[in-house]
Amino acid sequence: EAGVAQSPRYKIIEKRQSVAFWCNPISGHATLYWYQQILGQGPKLLIQFQNNGVVDDSQLPKDRFSAERLKGVDSTLKIQPAKLEDSAVYLCASSLAGFEQYFGPGTRLTVT
Amino acid sequence: GQQLNQSPQSMFIQEGEDVSMNCTSSSIFNTWLWYKQDPGEGPVLLIALYKAGELTSNGRLTAQFGITRKDSFLNISASIPSDVGIYFCAGQLGGNKLVFGAGTILRVKS
């Protein structure tokens, strides 16, 4: 069974630029999550989708971050414009019944 | 918001030794999960605990869901070099939301 796929794996941009990350969850997993992991910390939930609907986006900085999951499968997370403090690893995870989340390899973003 | 306190923050042990780490919170959780993260990779699920008092093993790993539902423990027996990494505990609230600890960095001296 293929795992959670993410791309790109690495991205370097200048502040005020925009960037997008893509995630394809494990086949059949209805729930998809985006996390932000700052160096030295545990992952922090940004947004949770159930199929193509948003369940929880309470910690998403909506003035600059947006995410969509139009067909209930893959998802895109966008940052526009990026700030220096957005430098982090962005992790995508998916789950079948909600209890056990499986993570992708992440995208390491560096904002200069 | 909810916070999980993981300890120790890091440990450097001899190959073959047993390892213990724990996670505590002021909040009650429905589920406890333990993940391991290698450099440049995403967290990998090791063990999931669903009931207070539950003790679950996965090979050399054993984890327990505390009776108060506010803590969990992870033990690794006979550590080997590939056990190196960062171990995260995560508590699950309603709505399947996970809250992560800051991690325990494990280094093994061969």
Q: What average pLDDT does this structure show over A24-36? A: 95
Nearest Cα to Cα of residue B35 among B90, B73, B96, B92: B90
Q: Please check the confidence at residue A38 and state whether its pLDDT lies above 70.
A: yes
Tokens, residue A110: 């560096």
Q: Which of residues 32-71 of A touch B (CB under 8 A)?
A: 33, 40-45, 48, 55-56
E strands, A38-111, are 44-50, 53-56, 65-68, 75-79, 88-95, 102-103, 107-111
Both tokens of A5, joined, read 């796929």
Q: Which of A45, A37, A38, A31 lies closest to A102, judged by CA?
A: A31
Predicted confidence (pLDDT) at residue A37 exceeds the cutoff of 80: yes
State how far the Cα of A19 lies from the Cα of A12, in Å rounded to an integer: 9
Residue B2 has pLDDT above 70, yes or no: no
- Quickly count: other Cβ atoms within 10 Å of residue B97's Cβ: 18
* Closest chain A residue by Cα to residue B30: A99
Alpha-carbon distance of A14 to A85, in angstroms, equals 12
Q: What integer is the mean pLDDT of A101-108?
A: 96
Give yes or no for B97 touching A (CB within 8 A). Answer: yes
Residue A69: its pLDDT value, please? 94
Determine whether the interchain pair A99/B48 forms a contact, defined as Cβ–Cβ distance below 8 Å: yes
Predicted confidence at residue A100, as pLDDT, reads 87
Q: Which of B98, B100, B104 is the best residue to mutate to test the A interface, defined by the most A CB atoms within 10 Å of its own CB?
A: B98
pLDDT for B94: 73
pLDDT at B33 over 90: yes
Mean pLDDT of all residues in B94-100: 82
Nearest-CA neighbor of B80 among B64, B94, B63, B60? B60
Q: Please state, as a whole number, how many other Cβ atoms lie within 10 Å of the Cβ of residue B64.
A: 19
Rg of chain A on CA atoms, in Å: 13
With pLDDT > 90 as the criterion, what percentage of chain A qualifies?
89
Question: Mean of the pLDDT values across residues B16-25?
Answer: 96
Examine the pLDDT at A106 and tell me if it is beyond 90. yes
Asked whether residue A98 carries a pLDDT value surpassing 70, the answer given is no
- pLDDT digits 0-9 by tens, B38-96: 999 999 999 999 999 999 999 999 999 999 999 999 999 999 999 999 999 999 877 77
What is the number of other CB atoms lying within 10 angstroms of the CB of residue A111?
A: 20
Range with lowest mean pLDDT among A3-17, B44-58, B94-108: B94-108
Determine contact, residues B31/B8, Cβ cutoff 8 Å. Answer: no
User: For chain A, how many residues are written?
Assistant: 112
